[in-house]
Amino acid sequence: MTSDTRQISLQVNGEIRTCSPQISLPALLEQMGMNPRLVAVEYNGEILHRQFWENTQMQEGDRLEIVTIVGGG
């Protein structure tokens, strides 16, 4: 049994990050220490609606902008 140790590079909020190929967006957010329920995500220049997150797998060169939602009055 061989272990797949390949990594892909993404741009997240302007910084290069690496992750496992084909990781889902919610898994990536959790890996980064973010609560998926408290962020909005722009994926390759488009706002990505939450209903599509689970089926969105990261690819080499993807660009993400992640904004934390802050409550207040």
Q: Which two tokens stand for residue 15?
A: 């910084």
H or E stretch at 29: helix 25-31
Q: Tell me the C-alpha distance between 44 and 70, whole Å.
A: 23
Query: What's the pLDDT score for residue 73?
Result: 65
Specify the pLDDT at position 4.
57
The pLDDT assigned to 10 comes to: 96
Neighbouring CB atoms inside 10 A of 28's CB total 24
Q: Residue-wise pLDDT tens for the chain (73 aa)?
A: 555 578 999 999 999 999 999 899 999 999 999 999 999 999 999 999 999 999 999 999 999 999 998 877 6
